[in-house]
Structure 1
Amino acid sequence: MKKLLIYGYCCLLFFFSFFSYLFIDPGLLYLRNFYTGFFSENRLVVIILYTLFICLFFLTYYLFIKLVRSEKLPLKQIFLLIVANVSILLFSYPAILSFDIFNYIATAKVAFFYHENPYIVMPYEFIGDPLLLFMHAANKVALYAPFWTLLSAIPHLLGFNNFLITLFNLKFFISLFYVAGAFLVWKISKNIYSVVLFALNPLIVIETLVSSHNDIVMMFFALCAFFFAFKKKFILALLFLFFSIFIKYATIVLLPIFIYMLIKYKSGEKIDQQNIFLIAAFLMFIVFLFSFLREEIYPWYAIWFLTFISFLPKKKNLVVLSTALSFGLLLRYVPFMFLGTYFGLTPLIKVCVTVIPVFIVLAWSLISKYAKKYN
């Protein structure tokens, strides 16, 4: 049964990777031989397939959690699943759900190829650059903090100005932070369940290894900060926290936690790691909720609080609710896939598909609670 589940999961990864190429932009000259037009001509079929994939990912996630709780999934096999995630999804098409990876490439190109300041100069100013044919934010300056721009030089320079090499360099580069993040979850928690909650969560897997969002990089440095703080190495902890902040700014809300821990350690008091991660998850969830003030709540922002919830496996209700929210957030892509617009009914439907799974879980929990009480 376990071997069948693992093989089935690997097949699921492979087919989802293949499915991603149905979304290739017609303006992406580098992959024009793979363009089929299937997505735009068969929207209903595409959303059915996408929804089926998401359901299957969460089903396998649930089954892996069951195996861990029954102590039938050792750390070695979890590591192999993480390797399978990276190895297979590395070759997926990254712009199936978001075009952010093209923005990363464009920002790096402005800085390290054109030698201009990406916080002042916009990509569209370089008339004739092939990136302008398919990127969706050419009229914006760099959207991320300077440390991310500096890090993006690595995959850019190793790409030797070849778009496809740079693209997959960047995917691999971000994948390394996913693996390193999973390793840190294990080093801090020493709990296999926590590793599975983090590394096999479908939202984290898809948004990190397919869409290649840099949120995982921000969270990796945040985890490094906690790792050193728990070892009472606060200079290193604050250094890595600032690295995290200067990836995407969101983790600045964690600074009071480190100040609190420093005060506690100075006074000789013990720190409850579970409470620390609960507060961290809460703070990042608040930032997540208020992200609509900037543009909207994007699904990959959930990586911010899911990372810390993975350290709280004993908080069963919290784990279940966050999983339901992860499921709903991945369904937020469906309205646009079907309607082809971000306007009209799309925003309302996105809200509905996001919150309905959470409400269903809450309702089921209440019904179960009262059923046990009166039986």
Structure 2
Amino acid sequence: MRTKIIILGLIISALFALLAYIPFGFQSLSTPPLNDHILIYFFLISLGLLISYFAAYRLIKEEKSQRISKIIVLFALIFSVILILIPSIGSADVFNYIFRARIQTVYGENPYLVATEGFKSDLFYNFSPQEWNYLPMQYGPLWTSLSIGFSYLAQDSFFWNQFLYKLLALLTNFGIIYFIWKILGIINPDYRIRGILLYAWNPLILFEAVNNVHNDLLMIFFVVAAIYFFLKKKYLFCLLLLLFSVLVKYITVLLFPVFLLFLWKEIIVPGERIKIFIKAAAILLVAAVLLYLPFWKGTGIFQGLADQSKIASYMNLSLFPSFLFNFILSLKSILTLTLDQIMKIVSIGGMIAFAIIYFWQLRLIKQKGDDFVHRNFLILLGYILYAACFLQPWYFLWFLPLAVLIDKKYFPEFVFLFTLIGLLSYVFIVMSIILIVFFLALLFLSLTTKKNYFPPFLGFH
């Protein structure tokens, strides 16, 4: 078996190396400049990666030897080094991070108040996605502080500015591997090797995290670390880590009620509950104030976040919004709505649908208080499927690291499915069509096999 795993690792390494031949067009939001040859080339590489990934999982499905885990981690490092050496292919976000930090380090302005569009002579202007230049900083102050630190270190160096972000992505990725190993050691030791391979060799995670360098990885790293320390009963530290996640990218604020409800159930003594909650509130408040303080100019610093939350595209709708969009579009002649009005209704409808799912999940926690990891997973997946109106493949980084921790029926298939969807989105562009096709495929599969494949896919449990 070791020989077969090594061969598959070498095949995956070669396939990742072949990505170096894909040209990348700067000033592009996501996807390289496309023609038929590049589409076919990327599709074949993606197909090869997925087949090899699936074959490796099937091969080690019943394996419990610790030696295999070392081989898995070693090849994960090889994959990462290859992807670090290849310029970012699927997104120019790393240049956007660099450019935004330079607003303060080079021009002395507050990145939360001043957008990048006014600095056309900057070294990185022609590399940063033009679609985002009108927005001031929309991320949390922890990410902004890291970006500014990198900018001071790298100065005008094109190489070092990129390398520091890629190094952070590499370290973060292996930090997640470490915590997945530790968490599975607590909740399901027999699933450790499978869980590690599902994450460490996942081609979508490697592509989006290490090559495209999205800050979503750092956000979910803090969530995974927080889950580990929660399981170790280090409650104050786990809540601090969750705050750090929120202060990278705000979406994980949705997980705070989940953590607090489980914490309430874990601590039986009422006096101890109150003491921990007061300490936690004080620590989190001080940490948030310290991180916001260098940038604070009133609530105006959230303008970038507010503007970004309004962005929606019918080409990037998730599952529920795409169904709602097509339903309303079919009534367009009756309702006489413009496309912008339809998109606004879809955005509101998606948020309402997610709110129902969200509070339902919180209610189930109060009633059952069952699987902690699974509930966090369902919240993030629920947002993606029901509320996301500008869905990008790297958003799958929000829930895939949690999915590999869950040893439930259909979950490995779920990981493979969303890995496939994420990679195919670079080939077929329209995310909503891909999701609808797979939804219909699952429906057909459920009807023909008389098995219910929908709970992990739609967030029901």
TM value normalised by structure 2: 0.68
Tell me the distance in 2 between the aligned counterparts of 1:158 and 1:239.
27
Partner of 1:339: none
Contact 2:222 2:244 in 1 (8 A): yes
Which of 158, 163, 168 is equivalent to 2:158? 163
Partner of 1:133: 126
Q: Which amino acid aligns with 1:109?
A: R
- Structure 2 segments unaligned to the other structure (5+ residues): 186-191, 270-364, 452-461
Contact 2:94 2:214 in 1 (8 A): yes
Tell me the distance in 2 between the aligned counterparts of 1:130 and 1:14.
28
Contact 1:234 1:262 in 2 (8 A): yes
Partner of 1:2: 5
Partner of 1:121: 114
Contact 2:26 2:92 in 1 (8 A): no
Alignment pair present for 1:19 and 2:21: yes
Q: Report how far residue 353 of structure 1 moved.
A: 2.4
Tell me the distance in 2 between the aligned counterparts of 1:49 and 1:330.
13
Alignment pair present for 1:53 and 2:35: no
Partner of 2:317: none
Q: Which amino acid aligns with 2:380?
A: M
**Other structure's SS at 1:332 match:** helix
Correspondences of 1:19-98 after superposition (within 5 Å): 19-20=21-22, 22-25=23-26, 40=33, 43-71=35-63, 74-94=68-88, 96-98=89-91
Q: Which amino acid aligns with 1:363?
A: F
Q: Which amino acid aligns with 1:50?
A: F
* Number of residues of Structure 1 aligned to a counterpart in Structure 2: 338
Partner of 2:168: 173
Contact 2:99 2:124 in 1 (8 A): yes
Residues 236 and 60 (structure 1), Cα distance of their counterparts in 2 relative to 1, 3 Å cut:
same
Tell me the distance in 1 between the aligned counterparts of 2:420 and 2:447.
20
Choose 1 or 2 for highest CA Rg.
2
Q: Which amino acid aligns with 2:21?
A: F
- Structure 1 segments unaligned to the other structure (5+ residues): 28-38, 337-346, 371-375
Q: Report how far residue 129 of structure 1 moved.
A: 0.9
**Other structure's SS at 1:70 match:** coil
Q: Which amino acid aligns with 1:143?
A: Q
Residues 321 and 123 (structure 1), Cα distance of their counterparts in 2 relative to 1, 3 Å cut:
same
RMSD of aligned C-alpha atoms? Answer: 2.4
**Other structure's SS at 1:212 match:** coil
Residues 80 and 359 (structure 1), Cα distance of their counterparts in 2 relative to 1, 3 Å cut:
farther
Q: Which amino acid aligns with 1:5?
A: L
Q: Report how far residue 368 of structure 1 moved.
A: 4.1
Contact 1:221 1:244 in 2 (8 A): yes
RCO comparison, higher one (Cα < 8 Å, 6+): 2
Q: Which amino acid aligns with 1:299?
A: P
**Other structure's SS at 1:98 match:** coil
Q: Which amino acid aligns with 1:298?
A: Q
Tell me the percent identity: 28
**Other structure's SS at 1:143 match:** coil
Contact 1:91 1:168 in 2 (8 A): no
